[in-house]
């Protein structure tokens, strides 16, 4: 069995940022369920929150968006991930089922924005996420 550890990664923003925070680390085993929470500083009933992942050596992959009780998913990931919110604590959740080594990635929650009228050199989006790493089991001799 290959354990997978989850590590927190953060990227800062420089203008009108919203705060998104997640636990520092977690551990999951392949085939087991995973829940990642993301507490946000805005109202989850008034704005979408996106979940994105970045496998090593690959491009960003959109998982889905959640807004109050509404969700949108990438079709190929619908059966693997579910999204939900707790409006009383302004927390969004990404729940994964039966994660395998091909799901190894940095997982981000993000506040998407569409501020097309302002030209700034940086984004308003703070990203926090987890990296799922495969750890090889040592052979016992």
User: Strand, coil or helix: what is 76?
Assistant: helix
Each residue's pLDDT tens digit, 32-78: 888 988 888 888 888 888 899 888 899 999 999 998 879 999 999 99
The class that CATH gives domain 4-114+122-132 is mainly beta
What contacts 29, CB < 8 A, 6 or more positions away?
1, 2, 3, 4
Each residue's pLDDT tens digit, 78-99: 999 999 999 999 999 999 998 8
CA 126, 94, 38, 100: dihedral to nearest 10 degrees? Answer: -80
Extents of the domains making up the chain:
4-114+122-132
The mean pLDDT value of the chain amounts to: 71
Distance from C-alpha of 85 to C-alpha of 91, rounded to nearest angstrom: 6
Distance from C-alpha of 72 to C-alpha of 78, rounded to nearest angstrom: 9
The DSSP secondary-structure symbol of 57 reads T
**What pLDDT does residue 138 have?**
38
């Amino acid at each position: 069995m290959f354990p997978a550890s989850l590590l927190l990664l953060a990227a800062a923003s420089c203008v009108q940022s919203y705060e998104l925070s997640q636990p520092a680390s977690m551990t999951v085993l392949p085939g087991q369920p995973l829940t990642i929470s993301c507490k946000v500083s805005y109202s989850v009933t008034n704005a979408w929150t996106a979940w994105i992942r970045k496998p090593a050596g690959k491009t960003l992959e959109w998982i889905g968006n959640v807004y109050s009780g509404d969700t949108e998913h990438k079709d190929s990931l619908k059966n693997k991930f579910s999204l939900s919110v707790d409006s009383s604590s302004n927390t969004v959740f990404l729940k994964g089922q039966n994660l395998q080594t091909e799901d190894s990635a940095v997982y981000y929650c993000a506040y998407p924005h569409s501020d097309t009228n302002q030209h700034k050199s940086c984004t308003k989006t703070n990203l926090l996420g987890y990296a799922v790493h495969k750890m090889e089991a040592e052979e016992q001799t």
